[in-house]
Amino acid sequence: SFFNTAENEGTDGVDDDGNLIVDDVFGYDFYENDTLPLDENGHGTLVASIIAGVEGNGYGGAGICQDAEILPIRVFDQFGRSGLPKFARVSDVALALDYAGVTGVDIVNLSLGGSFFSYTEFAILELLSSEGILIVAAAGNGGSDGYGDDNDTSPIYPASYDVATIISVAAQDRSGGLARFSNYGLESVDIAAPGTDIFGADVARNEVFFEDFQTGAPGWVTGELSGNESSDVWLIEELAGEKFLYDHSLAYDSYLPNTDTWVRSPLVDLSSVVGARLEFDAFLSLADDVLYVELSNDGFSWDIFESFTY
């Protein structure tokens, strides 16, 4: 990874290498405005390990270019690409791109995107391009319906900027086809690369809440919205000696779609947690239906975290 010898061996509080950032020994965090660009989400760590992970060190897998030197730059909050509020300030991205160019990188990797065109961002990317810097940008992951969108008609930036050295990359699934969530575009997307079931490194994590339903489900609440046509509610069923939370009884084929039943977990205290991640296993048979996973900060208003449909 990147190590700035000039700043490390220079004078504290002085921009020893002249790149306009003081004491940036290990890169820079433009979100927190400090010289420790620590990944609080895990996505950056995963991408870095896919690119340059060293084999045999016990972390993640072997990268595709193990001799690569990576300059860590942070612009996202701890929720990154998979949570709320899920944003990076355009001003931070612009500063980060300028910093990358001044520091002398050969390639910029941008695993981020949004629907708004920024003249500032565009101008900086054009400048990097004119200097021969390759810019690899994610084509994007579609909307809340779980399906990718056409970038030709609904551009995602920076992938959709008309800049000569930008490569816009869609995601493939494990069979080599386009991943369901991945954006696409005959004119605006250049290539696709593996984007699902990728093994790599992650940030260190501690378990905050776990439920396997084997001894009941204390604190879980079930319910239904008005107009429900079915008597089904979420309940614990046993299959092959293991217990699972099901949205209808396994003894009867009585499930009806669009019945608006729901189940809510106990309150999970994340007040002292940074970069929380939700993981769960699900068996889905959702013809003509959809499963929403929602999050709430107050128990009253809910935001869609993920959705599944088939």
pLDDT for 306 equals 80
Q: Residue 127 phi/psi, 5° resolution?
A: -65, -45
Give, in order, the Cα–Cα distances in Å from 259 to each of 73, 94, 226.
46, 46, 9
Over the range 148-187, which residues count as b (16 or more CB within 10 Å of their CB) and which as e? bbebeeebbbbbbbebebbebbbbbbeeeebbbbbbbbee
Of 41, 39, 43, 2, give the one whose Cα is nearest residue 24.
Answer: 2
DSSP class per residue in 20-82: S-TT-SS-EETTTTBS----SSSHHHHHHHHHHPPTTSSSS---S-TT-----EE-B-TTTTS
3-state secondary structure of 99: helix
| pLDDT score at 101 | 94
Residues 2/72, Cβ–Cβ less than 8 Å: yes
Contact 181, 147 (CB under 8 A): yes
CA distance 162 to 121: 12
Extended beta strands in the chain, E state: 28-29, 73-74, 107-110, 134-138, 166-172, 191-194, 221-224, 235-239, 242-246, 261-264, 290-295, 303-309
Local structure of residue 18 (DSSP, 8 states): S
Copy the structure tokens of residue 180: 């369901």
What is the C-alpha R_g of the chain? 23
Quote helix, strand, coil % in the chain, to nearest 5. Answer: 15, 20, 65
Cα separation, 271 vs 279, whole angstroms: 19
pLDDT tens, per residue, the chain with 310 residues: 788 899 999 999 999 998 889 999 999 999 989 999 989 888 899 999 999 999 988 887 899 999 999 999 999 887 754 444 567 888 999 999 999 999 999 999 999 998 899 999 999 999 999 999 999 999 999 887 889 999 999 999 999 999 999 999 999 999 999 999 999 999 999 999 999 988 888 888 899 999 999 988 899 998 887 766 666 678 888 888 899 988 877 776 666 677 788 899 999 998 888 778 888 888 877 777 888 899 898 888 998 888 887 6
Instruction: Give the model's pLDDT for residue 82.
Output: 43
- CA distance linking residue 158 with residue 38, whole number of Å: 23
35 Cβ contact list (under 8 Å, min separation 6): 21, 22, 23, 24, 25, 26, 27, 28, 29
pLDDT for position 231: 66
